[in-house]
Each structure stands twice: as structure tokens, then as C-alpha cells.
Structure 1
Amino acid sequence: MSTKKSVISKDAIVREGALILGSSIIGSRAFIDTGTVVGYPIRSRIKMLQEGKKGEIESEGATIGDNSVIRSNSIIYERVKIGKNVETGHRILIREDTEIGDNSIIGTDTVIDGRVKIGEFARIETGVYIPPYTIIGKNVFLGPRVVFTNDKYPVSKRLLGAIVEDNVAIGANATIIAGVRIGKGAVIASGAVVTKDVEPNTVVAGVPARKLMSKDEYNRKREKYESEA
């Protein structure tokens, strides 16, 4: 089902039970699975409906790029821009004012909680949480259950997102504390708690995370491990 203002490419595939709201744009050969909502209205619009106010209360819609795949029971809020060749798992939530670059993968049960920027070729595994104001660069890997935070002193009035530069890899169950910057090419070990900035091409591990080795040493260890297969 779609609203009159939606623009759906003729060769897009929108499965029965999907809901396309507002001025959403569905690109060529995009696939929208059953139970998915594209262009879900922001909180202020819902409040306007509850209060019986008149005016422009229809969703501004979301944009889904060419060849992208949005799997079942996912919710994409209005003012979300998803690039080309993006693929999601099931039951993802992407809140308003989020941008996701081309050729990215968003795993099942991931929550991107709005006002987030994600670069091209990102690979985000199952169950990742990304709060508002987080910035993630290109070719970044986030392992299962990685959690970002944006409040150093909960519950405060100042929210500050983390910045992840290009080519970073973050292992499963790592926690990234509000406001840190992870430099280009860095590696964060599984289970690490990152409380301070991480230098480029550095491997960190532990609670709190500390430098473990250089990226060159890490690459040598990885190559040896792979050769033993």
C-alpha cells in the first residue's frame, strides 16, 4: 500500500503488506518486503494527529535507492535517505534524518536511532545500536551487538555522538562511549570499552580499551592465521 504522493519505480518490488507513506521514493529494482513501513511519521506529527491539529501532517517520506533490499518488518522513518545497493536484515529500525551510503549492509535487529550518517560500504552486523549524532565513515565493519552511546553522564542534556573514520573494524560486543573519535584503519577488539580517542591504524582491547599492537602487526597475525586454514 502506498500514498498518492509516493513515487515508486515501475520495476520496484513492493510486497503485499508493505506500507509506503508520504512523499517516499522507491528506486529502480528496489525490494520492499512484507510488514515493512517506509516513511513512518516522526513523533511531532503523531502528536499533531492526537491533538486534532490541521495542516501539513503527512509524512515527508523516505528515499530507498536503486537495487536496495529492505527485508520484512523493518521500520524506516521519514527523512531517511538510503543509498543504492543497500541490503538490510529483518526487523531493523532507522529513525529520521539518517543517511546510509551506497553498498552498505545493515544486519537484523539493528537500531539506528536517528540523525546518524553512515558512509559507503559499511557492514553492520546483527543487533547493533547506533544513537543520534553518531558519524560512521566508509568501509567500516561493526560486529554483532556493538553498542554506541551519546551521553557521557546519563541522563544529561548534552548528547555527543562518536566519530568512526574510514576502514575501521569494531569487534562483537564492543562499547563505544560518547564523543570518542576512532581513527582511520583502527581495530577495536571484541568486548572492548572505548572511553578515549583511538589513534589511526592502532589495535585496542580491554576495559577500558588500551593499545594492544600496531595495525601492521595485526595484519601480519591475520595473514598467518588465514594461511593456516
Structure 2
Amino acid sequence: MKCSENINSYTTRTVYEKSVQDRSVLRYYLGLLVRWKQNLKYVRARKIARQQGAIIGDGVIMPLSLARKANRNLIIGNHVSIQTDKIDLRSPIQIGNNVIIGYNTEIITTSHNIDSKEWEHKHYGIVIEDYVWLPTNVLVLPSCRKIGYGAVVGSGSVVVKDIEPMSVVSGNPAKEFKKRNCVHSNLIVESLLGGDYKIYKATRKKRNRDSV
């Protein structure tokens, strides 16, 4: 029974598992070295952000420049990849699990009261739910308070209002043109920027166990 279970798990591997488990020994260790170096950087970034008062989950990948300006307004879930530091932390921002935020994407959470003589700040904040993908050069304005579960925004889009779950939107202003069929549940989000050091090792060891 145990043997048949191992065979079945080996034949139903994910793309990531195949990529790691089928590598030659040399390729595997070269990949391990690259990921070890990246891991040091990402561990440091998470530590700095937490010291600044942010709540940061496991497997979060973020640039040091974002970590250094982090504060108590920033909450990030698990297995999140962020490639930008253009995130306005003057108001609360909550990012869920397995979210991907690409290069040069900007999220603005605060504006001004244009009907006031004092022109004081107006703090809005935003919630970005699980499995959202904001690729490159997206601009999210303060009028957007929530991006729903599994939503995808096209590159270069300007988001001016809330986005419904599983919606695929694009344009300026961003408008929905279809619904997403599924979320990226099999993706190792950390692997997008080489931050999957521990998972990479565990995946290789799993192949060795299953082959016994």
C-alpha cells in the first residue's frame, strides 16, 4: 500500500516538483547556492520590517527598501512576493496570502480633503485578498479600498474602484473583461524571485523519500 501511494504521488507531481526533483545533482546544488544567497537577503528584509512594527508572515519576499520604511500599517500574510517599494504606508494596508505584486506597481492609500481649507490628509487604506496578482506598472488609487480574492489586474492599469473576487480587469480606468477560472494554488510564490530556499530543499528530499 505504501509503495503504491509513493508511485501515485510521484506521477501526480506539480510543475515545481518536477523542475526540482528531476534536476541533475550539479544543477540542484547550483540552484541551492543561488537560493541560499537570496534567502539571506529576504530573511533580513522580513526581520527589518517586523522590527519596524509590521506584521509579516512566512515566506514573504520583499525589497529591503520597502522593509526599511515599513510600519504598523503594513500587514502581510504568508507566501507573498512583492517586487516594488512604491506602497504608501500612511494608511493601513492588509495583504493576504499568495499575493504577487510586480515591479513598479504603486499603491496609494492616502489623499487630501479637497473640500477643506486645511487640506488635511484623508486616510483610506486597502485590503488585498488572497491570490491576487498585480503585475508591473499598475497604479492603485485611494478610491480603491478592496481587491477581492483571486483578482488579476492587467499591467499598466489604473485601479480607481474596488475589484470583485476572481475578476480580471485592465485599462484606465480598470474595467472587468472576464472572470478567472482558478487561482495559482500550485505555484510556489517565493520561487518567482528565488526565495524558495527551504521549499527547494524539502521538495528534493521528498523525491528521495518517495523513491525508497
| Counterpart for residue 50 of structure 2 | 81
Superposed CA offset, 1:98-131 (max 9, x none): 1111111113543654221011001001444242
Aligned counterparts, 1:190-209, within 5 A? 190-209=155-174
Partner residue of 2:93 out of 131, 134, 147? 134
Q: Over residues 162-215 of structure 1, what are the superposed CA-to-partner deviations in whole Å (9 max), with x where a residue is unaligned?
A: 110001000111111125200000001111111101000000111111112211
User: How far did residue 97 of structure 1 move?
Assistant: 2.5
Which one of the candidate residues 33, 36, 60 is aligned to 1:104?
60
SS in 1 for 2:125: coil
Would you say 1:70 and 2:51 are equivalent positions?
Answer: no
Partner of 1:117: 75
2:112–2:121: 8 Å Cα contact kept in structure 1? no
Q: Deviations over 1:130-167 (max 9, x none)?
A: 42311111110000011111124376332111110001
1:134 and 1:174 map into 2 onto residues whose CA distance is 16
Could you say if the C-alpha distance between residues 101 and 130 of structure 1 is closer, same or farther in structure 2, counting changes exceeding 3 Å? farther
The one-letter code sitting in structure 2 at the alignment partner of 1:103 is: G
The structure, 1 or 2, with the larger RCO (C-alpha pairs under 8 Å, 6+ apart) is 2
Distance 2:88 2:59 in 1: 19
Mind listing any 5+ residue stretches in structure 2 that lack a counterpart?
1-38, 114-118, 185-212
Q: How far, CA to CA, are the matches of 1:195 and 1:141 in structure 2?
A: 19
Counterparts of 2:88 and 2:110, CA distance in 1: 12
Matches within 5 A, 1:179-190: 179-190=144-155
Given the two structures, how large is their TM-score scaled by the length of structure 2? 0.56
Q: Is the 8 A contact 2:138 2:153 kept in 1?
A: yes
CA contact (8 A) 2:56 2:76 kept: yes
Residue 157 of structure 1 aligns with which residue? 121
Whole-Å separation in 2 of the counterparts to 1:217 and 1:196: 23
Alpha-carbon separation, structure 2, partners of 1:75 and 1:105 = 11
Q: For the aligned residues, what is the CA RMSD?
A: 3.0
Structure 1 pair 70/146, CA: closer, same or farther in 2 (3 Å)?
same
Structure 2 CA distance for partners of 1:117 and 1:139, relative to 1, 3 Å: same
